């Protein structure tokens, strides 16, 4: 790991829904300009961990640090924290009543006070890069899943967040679109963005991750470079999870 | 990065959970915030109440106003006849309310029917809503309560209560139909698509997928209409029925003291509040069970 402080740090995070303890004791550091990939069975708490980082859920115990600030402190202004985090949800969550351009410029204009012309110029530039320039005036419901997902990505990065949280952004896409969206993520990595992503797309995880975390039983059971975790998993549970995947032809 | 880390045996070796210092401190802080908020709320309420009390009781006309509108003597005297009158209001609400809710739903569903066969039904429902939503309730009441008996139709009642109730149902079902329709249209088209792809028919889609979501969304608006209906049941007194308003009015005419009307008015308020709270509670409970929640 680099000598600099991590952008995002989870310290013994605990989160329960009623009786069900989803995250028991999760500690994790996300260094700057690195890609952290969360893997684990369905229901292991990947989405929950990301939602906690974005302060959409209140954690029960532990702390989450963003740039050295404890963002889970009840005194913290949650909106100011969220402004520094970009999120793409599993289900896109584009605003259906706004067209693509307005979806993307809503944050910059209303939150960051960017002027409309400037915000639209920047949005168009990003859309162009993702091959969506022609769809700028279209409404989300009339875009394909892959297009919606890319718009959601643009919406998340347009305000230059410190860290991007991506939750299974390819779950609903066909293989060709998956490649398309993942190449966008790869570009983002090359630009040096810090990202945490949850995925079931192991080939991609292996390829893009600087650090892979295997989540099970509410803890990060195993953590390492993708070569370590995929190539030589130390833990029995990890091995079982990965071999199940490779049996299913997904590795 | 150093070698892969494997945490110590994850299942057996983990100590049972103990809240950390940090959690306890956070909870203490939140509790103190809650206490502070409660204190501020109490203090500001008290201050506002005091100011209001001083302003109102200090005004020059207060003694006279108090005697004509807030006389304890007349209030006590009015209580029994007004309460008696309320029985009629409640009966009207109990009969008209459900009728309106069902009729409105039928009209709204009729308006959303697709296909050329249903054109007349659709047109009729649309015309009904357009007409009766615009037609003033008080005129409708007068026309029905006095007009229908004047026709001297065989087998048609002259009872002002039934006729008045009918007028309320006609007027309110037009409103309620529009509320339902707004709810139906707010359900995202992808829901219809999903339901139809399961093989559900149009009617089944409405019945099992669209309407349950639509109705949930419009519960507050419906409660609003029911509260309004509750007050408007008072209007049947123009046909000669003795409800709470009429009972109060009779007393006022005899004494020129307006306290009975205030009592009747407060009675309506007291009836409406539990209805609204119940609806709030109901929608909250439905949301809690369904939604992902989170803190935003
Ligand atoms: N708001 C909630 N209320 C109650 N339980 C919840 C809530 N959100 C999540 N859960 C539970 O927490 C567990 C973890 O859910 P989560 O969505 O984090 O899993 P995941 O790892 O993202 O799974 P997937 O890979 O399928 O997306 C699940 O068992 C889920 O039922
Ligand atoms: Mg998930």
Q: CB distance B17–A24 less than 8 Å?
A: yes
> Residue B8: pLDDT band by 50, 70, 90 thresholds?
very low
Q: What range does the domain containing A173 cover?
A: 8-96+162-247
Residue B7 is predicted with a pLDDT of: 46
pLDDT of residue B3: 46
Q: Is B210 left (phi over 0), alpha (psi -120 to 50) or beta?
A: alpha
pLDDT number for residue B12: 52
Interface of A with B in 80-99 (CB under 8 A): 96
DSSP calls for A42-79: TTSSHHHHHHHHTTSS--SEEEEEETTEETTSTTS-HH
pLDDT at A169: 86
Q: Does A67 touch chain B (CB under 8 A)?
A: no
Q: Which of B262, B295, B206, B269 is nearest to B67 (CA)?
A: B262
Instruction: With a cut of 60, say whether residue B295 has pLDDT above it.
Output: yes
Residues of B in contact with A229 (CB under 8 A): 4
Residues 6+ apart with CB under 8 A from B122: B110, B111, B113
CA–CA distance, A199 with A172 (Å, rounded to integer): 12
Q: Domains (ranges, CATH) in chain B?
A: 91-242 (1.10.3720.10)
- Look at residue A107 and tell me if it is in a domain: no
Per-residue pLDDT at B9 exceeds 50: no
H helices of chain B, in order, are 21-58, 62-69, 72-112, 119-134, 137-142, 148-151, 160-186, 189-197, 202-205, 211-232, 244-255, 259-290
Verdict on whether the full-model pTM lies above 0.80: no
End-to-end CA distance of chain A: 26
- Residues in the ligand 1 pocket, defined by CB under 6 Å: A 17, 22, 40, 42-48, 168, 198; B 292-293
d(CA B37, CA B29): 12
CA-to-CA distance for A232 and A229, rounded, in angstroms? 6
Q: Considering only CA atoms, which of A23, A81, A63 is closest in space to residue B26? A: A63
Contact between residue A106 and residue A98 where contact means Cβ atoms under 8 Å apart: yes
Residue found under tokens 């009969």: B95
Q: Does A58 touch chain B (CB under 8 A)?
A: yes
Q: Which of residues 113-172 of A touch B (CB under 8 A)?
A: 141
Those residues with Cβ within 8 angstroms of residue B26's Cβ, 6 or more apart along the chain or in another chain: A72, A73, A74
In chain B, whose CA is at the least distance from the CA of A227?
Answer: B4
Query: Which pair of structure tokens corresponds to residue B87?
Result: 């029985």
Tell me the C-alpha distance between B173 and B157, whole Å.
Answer: 21
Q: Which residues of chain A have pLDDT under 70?
A: 1-3, 249-251
Is A129 inside a domain boundary? Answer: no
Domain count, chain A: 1
Q: If DSSP codes are grouped into helix, strand and coil, which group holds residue B267?
A: helix
| Among B1, B33, B295, beta carbon nearest to A1 | B1
Contact assignment for A62 to B11 by CB distance below 8 Å: no
| Tokens 């920047």 sit on residue | A122
Integer Cα distance of A229 and B3 in angstroms: 10
In a domain, A191, yes or no: yes
* Chain B interface includes A73 (CB < 8 A): yes
Distances (CA, A) of A7 to A30, A164, A238: 6, 11, 27
Assess contact for A203 and A167: CB atoms under 8 A. no
Give the H/E segment covering residue A156. helix A145-157
Q: Which of B1, B2, B3, B4 to mutate to test the interface with A (most CBs of A within 10 A)?
A: B4
How far is it, in rounded angstroms, from Cα B273 to Cα B288? 23
Report how far residue B76's alpha carbon sits from residue B68's, in angstroms, rounded to the nearest whole number: 14
> pLDDT digit string (tens) for B114-167?
888 899 999 999 999 999 999 999 999 999 998 888 888 888 888 889 999 999
Q: How many residues does chain A have?
A: 251
- What is the number of residues in chain B? 296
Please provide the average confidence, as pLDDT, over all residues in chain B.
Answer: 87
**Residue A135 domain-assigned?**
no
Question: How far is residue A202 CA from its own chain's centroid?
Answer: 15
How many CA atoms lie within 13 Å of B198's alpha carbon, on the beta-carbon side? 11
Chain B residues close to A224, C-beta within 8 Å = 1, 3-5
Phi first, then psi: give them for residue A239, nearest 5 degrees.
-60, -45
Q: Are A85 and A162 in contact (CB under 8 A)?
A: yes
What is the structure's pLDDT at B193? 84
Residue to mutate among A41, A61, A216, A223, with most B CBs inside 10 A, is A61
Chain A residue numbers touching B30 (CB-CB < 8 A)? 74
> Nearest Cα to A206, choosing from A41, A37, A90, A45?
A37
A59 located within any domain: yes
Residue pair A104/A127 in contact (Cβ under 8 Å)? The answer is yes
Tokens of A127: 């859309």
**Are the C-beta atoms of residues B259 and B70 closer than 8 Å to each other?**
yes
Q: Over the stretch B27-72, which tens digit does the pLDDT of each residue have? A: 999 999 999 999 999 999 999 999 999 999 888 888 888 888 888 8
List Cα–Cα distances, B176 to B43, B170, B179, B224, in angstroms: 41, 10, 5, 10
Report which protein residue has its CA nearest ligand 1's atom 7.
B292
ipTM more than 0.90?
no
> Nearest residue on chain A to B11, judged by CA atoms?
A217
CB–CB of A210 and B190 under 8 A? no
HSE-CB of B292 using CA atoms within 13 angstroms = 9
Indicate whether A121 belongs to any domain: no
Nearest residue on chain B to A64, judged by CA atoms?
B22
Instruction: Dump pLDDT digits (tens) for B192-244.
Output: 888 888 888 888 899 899 999 998 889 888 988 998 999 899 888 888 888 88
CATH number at residue A66: 3.40.50.300
Return the residue matching tokens 């998956």: A178
A192: in domain? yes
Q: 3-state class of B167 per DSSP?
A: helix
Residues A93 and A103 sit within 8 Å (Cβ to Cβ): no
With respect to residue A27, please indicate whether it lies within any of the assigned structural domains: yes
* Partner residue facing B1 (CB), from A56, A219, A225: A225
* pLDDT at A251 (0 to 100): 61
Q: What is the maximal distance between C-alpha atoms in chain B?
A: 98
Ordered strands of the A8-17 beta sheet: A20-30, A8-17, A61-66, A69-70
CA dihedral (A61, A65, A68, A73) in degrees, to 10, reads -50
Ligand 1 atom nearest the C-alpha of A171 is: 27
Counting atoms of ligand 1 from 1, which one is nearest the CA of A57? 1
């Amino acid at each position: 790991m680099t000598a600099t402080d991590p952008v995002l740090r989870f310290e013994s995070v605990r989160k329960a829904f009623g009786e069900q303890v989803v995250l028991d004791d999760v500690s994790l550091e996300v260094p700057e300009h690195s890609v952290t990939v969360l893997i684990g069975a369905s229901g292991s708490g990947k989405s929950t961990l990301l939602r906690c980082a974005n302060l959409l859920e209140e954690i029960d115990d532990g702390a989450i640090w963003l740039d050295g600030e404890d963002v889970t402190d009840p005194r913290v202004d949650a909106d100011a924290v969220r402004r520094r985090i970009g999120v793409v949800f599993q289900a896109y969550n584009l605003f259906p009543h706004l067209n693509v351009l307005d979806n993307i410029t809503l944050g910059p204009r209303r939150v960051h006070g960017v002027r409309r012309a400037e915000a639209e110029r920047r949005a168009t530039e990003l859309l162009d890069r993702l091959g969506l320039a022609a769809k700028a005036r279209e409404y989300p419901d009339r875009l394909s899943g892959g297009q919606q997902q890319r718009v959601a990505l643009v919406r998340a990065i347009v305000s230059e967040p410190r860290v991007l949280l991506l939750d299974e952004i390819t779950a609903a896409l066909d293989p060709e679109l998956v490649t398309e969206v993942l190449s966008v993520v790869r570009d983002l990595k090359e630009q040096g963005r810090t990202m945490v992503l949850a995925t079931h797309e192991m080939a991609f995880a292996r390829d893009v991750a600087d650090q892979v975390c295997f989540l099970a039983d509410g803890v990060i059971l195993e953590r390492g470079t993708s070569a370590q975790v995929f190539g030589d998993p130390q833990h029995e549970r990890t091995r079982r999870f990965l071999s199940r995947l490779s049996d299913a032809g997904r590795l | 990065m150093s070698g892969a880390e494997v945490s110590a045996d994850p299942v057996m070796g983990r100590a049972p959970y103990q809240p950390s210092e940090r959690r306890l401190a956070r909870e203490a802080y939140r509790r103190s915030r809650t206490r502070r908020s409660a204190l501020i709320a109490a203090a500001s309420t008290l201050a506002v109440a005091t100011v209001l009390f001083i302003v109102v009781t200090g005004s020059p006309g207060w003694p006279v106003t108090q005697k004509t509108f807030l006389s304890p003597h007349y209030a006590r005297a009015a209580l029994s006849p007004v309460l008696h009158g309320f029985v009629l209001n409640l009966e009207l609400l109990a009969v008209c309310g459900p009728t309106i809710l069902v009729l409105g739903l039928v009209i709204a569903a009729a308006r959303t029917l697709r296909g050329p066969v249903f054109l007349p039904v659709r047109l009729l429902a649309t015309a009904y809503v357009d007409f009766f939503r615009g037609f003033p309730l008080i005129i409708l009441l007068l026309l029905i309560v006095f007009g229908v008996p004047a026709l001297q139709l065989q087998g048609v009642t002259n009872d002002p209560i039934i006729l008045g109730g009918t007028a309320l149902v006609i007027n309110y079902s037009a409103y309620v139909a529009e509320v339902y329709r707004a709810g139906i249209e707010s359900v995202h088209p992808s829901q219809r698509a999903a339901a139809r792809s399961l093989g559900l028919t149009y009617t089944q889609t409405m019945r099992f997928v669209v309407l349950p979501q639509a109705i949930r969304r419009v519960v507050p608006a419906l409660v609003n209409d029911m509260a309004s209906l509750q007050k408007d049941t008072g209007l049947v007194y123009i046909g000669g029925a003795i409800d709470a308003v009429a009972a109060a009015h009779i007393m006022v005419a005899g004494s020129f003291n307006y306290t009975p009307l205030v009592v009747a008015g407060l009675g309506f308020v007291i009836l409406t509040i539990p209805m609204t709270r119940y609806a709030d509670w109901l929608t909250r409970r439905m949301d809690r069970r369904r939604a992902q929640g989170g803190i935003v």
